Chains A and B, each alone.
Chain A
């Protein structure tokens, strides 16, 4: 039995589900960002696996994955900066306590 496309798709679906569980159940904004990183990783596994098994000559999947990694870095930087700003103003990082627009 050799490793095929379906193996990678299964791993990435499980990783995506774990990330979604983290996003839905965590209170801490930083922990929610960790869940988002897991989901982005699952997407990257899919892209690279499809590149390998469906279109082995093209390298579009690698390029997509690299762009997604770049955007994930941007998202982490901006998201964590927002968490710091919210913490300075409201003294909390729990998203269920951040329920005011201005005061």
Chain B
């Protein structure tokens, strides 16, 4: 019962700000609404016993990415963007396409009989995630670190003012 209540609240905290993100005419408001949406997803991760993923979600999504997006909105012309039209001419078609895909996804996901397994995650699984990264998934770990380095250099080169 308590879990269901927590889930309902967290789902609302995730989805309602997400509606503001995609519909608000004010870009700063849309970017600020990303933060409660990310925090709601964080709560869902905690509910799923993924503590480490939840911590990283707060650090990177709610901390870094949201601030980065706000910076770029401030640096580009228009500021909050309320003076100009924010949606293109395909608003109705886009809404229909998104609704169709969501319906298809819901029908597909909820009708499939998933091979559910009983059992619980190991308690305090941060250490287990760390050792999984450095044993089974060490290739993915190394490749993602290289990708991080490349995108860091690439972002600097692209954003640099040309001489």
Q: A residues touching B (Cβ–Cβ < 8 Å)?
A: 1-3, 5-11, 13-22, 24-28, 30-31, 33-35, 37-38, 41, 44-45, 48-57, 59-63, 65-67, 69-78, 80-85, 87-88, 91-94, 96
Contacts and interface: CB of A to CB of B under 8 A. Distances in A.
Contacts of B158: 78, 81-82, 84-85
Contacts, number: 249
A33 B52 contact: no
B114 A53 contact: yes
Q: Which of A10, A57, A84 has the most CB of B within 10 A?
A: A84
Contacts of B152: 77
Interface size class of B (residues with CB under 8 A): 35 or more
Interface of B: 3-4, 7, 11, 14-15, 18-19, 21-22, 27, 30-31, 34, 37-38, 41, 44-45, 47-50, 52-53, 56-57, 60-61, 64-65, 68-69, 71-73, 75-78, 81, 84-88, 90-91, 93-95, 97-99, 101-102, 105-106, 109-110, 114-122, 125, 128-129, 132-133, 136-137, 140-141, 144, 147-148, 151-152, 154-156, 158-159, 161
